Amino acid sequence: MSITYRKLVEFISELYDISNRTIPKDVKESLKSALSRERNPLAKKILEMMLKSAEVAEKERLIICQDTGIPQFFVKVGTKFPYDIDLESAIKEGIEKITKEAYYRGIAAHPLTHVRSSTNTGERMPIITYEFLHDAKYLEITAVPKGSGSERWSALKMFDPYDVIKDIKKFVLDSFINAGSRPCPPVIIGVGIGGTFDYVAKLAKEAAIRPLNKRNPDPNVAKLEMELLDAINETGIGPMGLGGDTSALGVNIETAYTSAVWNPVAVNFQCWPGRRATGRIYSDGYVEYL
C-alpha cells in the first residue's frame, strides 16, 4: 500500500479530531501532579473537574472545549519521503471534512470584515509551518487548535541587547498577569527568545507545544524555565483565576541566536488542556499516532 491524496486527507482529519477530543499524556500527568500538590480546596475541585472532563471527552469522543480553534499545523518533512502529493490542499480538505462531519464551530474569519468561514479554511488558513527531517521516510505532523484562550493574550517585545534576564522575566510575568484568568489557567506558557520579529513568535509557539516533561537542553535556559514557572505560580491566580497554587503547568523556552543590536522576546499561551496531537504517515501509507 502506498500513500494517496485521499489517505492524507483522512489522516489530517483524524489527527485534528484527536487534538480536540483528547489531552496529551504529559498534560494529564501534570494536572494530576498539580492536584496532588494543590492546597486550595476550590482549586483542587477545579483540577478534579478538568481531569474528569478530559476523561469523559476521550471516552465518549466529545470535544474538550466548545472553541475548537483555528487550525495550525507543524509539518516535518522527511527528506526520503516521496513528496509528490499536494500537501497543503490535503490539509485544507482534511480540515473542511472534520469541521463539517464533527460540527465544529466556524471560527476562522476575514481579518477586516470578520465574516466567518463555515469550513475553518480561507486565505492562508490553515496555518502551516515546515521543517525537514534528515533521512526520514515519513511526514510528522502536529495539529494544534488555537482558540481564544491559547492565542489572544500572546505578547511580543523587542528588547535592547543590554536588557538583562530580570527584564525578560518581568515581561513574561507581566504578560501572564495581564492575561489573568482569560487563557483558562493553569496555562502552559511558551517563550521565544532571539531570532527576528517574526521568528521569535514561531519559537514561542514551538515552546508552547513542547511536552511538559522535556526541559530545554541548555542548563541556563532550563533554569530560567523553572524560575519563571515558580514566579507565575506564586501569583496565586490559580485554576480558572479563582485562586490557588497552580497558575501554570509549565513554562517552556526556545532560543535562537539574534542580532547584537536587538533581542526579541515572545510569549504564547496554551490553555489547560494543552491541545495538540502528533502523527506520522509513511510513504507506504502506514499511519502512526504518537
* Domains located in the chain, CATH noted: 5-22+64-146+275-289 (3.30.360), 149-270 (no CATH)
Read off the pLDDT of each residue in 3-21 and give the average, rounded to a whole number. Answer: 94
Q: What is the pLDDT of residue 162?
A: 80
Of the candidates 208, 171, 159, 152, the residue with the CA atom closest to the CA atom of residue 27: 208
Q: Which 3 state secondary structure label does DSSP give 154?
A: coil
Q: What does the pLDDT look like over 46-61, one tens digit per residue?
A: 999 999 999 999 999 9
Q: Which residues contact 65 (CB under 8 A, 6 or more apart)?
A: 20, 147, 271, 273, 275
Residue 19 pLDDT grade (very low, low, confident, very high; cuts 50, 70, 90): very high
Name the burial class of residue 161, with classes exposed (0-12), middle (13-18) and buried (19+) by CB atoms within 10 angstroms of its CB: exposed
pLDDT higher than 60, residue 1: no
Distance CA 258, CA 119 (A): 38
Tell me the average pLDDT of the chain.
95
Name the pTM for this structure.
0.94
pLDDT in tens, 182-225: 999 999 999 999 999 999 999 999 999 999 999 999 999 999 99
pLDDT band at 270 (very low <50, low <70, confident <90, very high): very high
Alpha carbons 263 and 159: distance in angstroms, whole number? 5
Residue 287 CA neighbour count, 13 Å, CB half: 15
